Amino acid sequence: MTTPILTSARLCFHPWTAEDFPLFASLHGDPEVQHFLAMGDPPWDEPYLKAKFDGFRADYAAHGWTKFKVTDRDGAFLGRAGFGLFSETGELELGYSFMRSLWGQGYATEAAGALLGWIYRVEPVDHVIGFAVAGHVASRRVLEKAGMAFTGIRDVDGIPNAFYRHDRPA
């Protein structure tokens, strides 16, 4: 396994390797995990999954950040969390998805807090955004617990999303 880029109390954040694709596919193959990402669309097919996966690997190679593979301290796969560029605005966007069996255990909140602390050390950005489907209360709560401020509801691909912003600490 690769050396983690970042660790928190329970989590390790790793760049993806080519061998990790089955883990990525297992996460996004779960219809419940995909529900708030695809909003009723069919689950992502293998070519789309591969393109997303390759994009995450390319982001890391180009920028040093991505939506990282997240494991526990023993190396068990938990999900993904990290950053991407929000195409509509070019802002750095925090995102996360965890295996359904792990929901409600605080992993997303821990990941969000660790990643926000990390990104300001490695990137000269003045803020980060995050968003969640407006009706996805649990994901919105994660963003709020991470210290992000609600900025409004906007459509993303025709779906109302709650947007949040986190400013670089002074």
pLDDT at 29: 82
Higher-scoring residue by pLDDT: 116, 42: 116
Q: How many residues comprise the chain? A: 170
Q: Is the dihedral of CA 151, 98, 15, 2 positive or negative?
A: positive
Query: pTM for the complete prediction?
Result: 0.93
For 170, the 3-state DSSP assignment is coil
pLDDT tens digits, one per residue of 117-161: 999 999 999 999 999 999 889 999 999 999 999 999 999 888 899
pLDDT tens digits, one per residue of 31-58: 777 666 655 566 778 888 899 999 999 9
CB 164 within 8 A of CB 144: yes
- How many Å is the Cα radius of gyration of the chain? 15
Domains contained in the chain, CATH given: 6-129 (3.40.630.30)
Cα 45 to Cα 29: distance, rounded to the nearest angstrom: 9
pLDDT at 142: 96
Q: 99: closest CA among 29, 147, 16, 167? A: 29
pLDDT at 107: 97
Q: What count of Cα atoms within 13 Å lies in the side-chain half-sphere of residue 87?
A: 2
pLDDT tens digits, one per residue of 56-93: 999 999 999 999 999 999 999 999 999 999 999 999 99
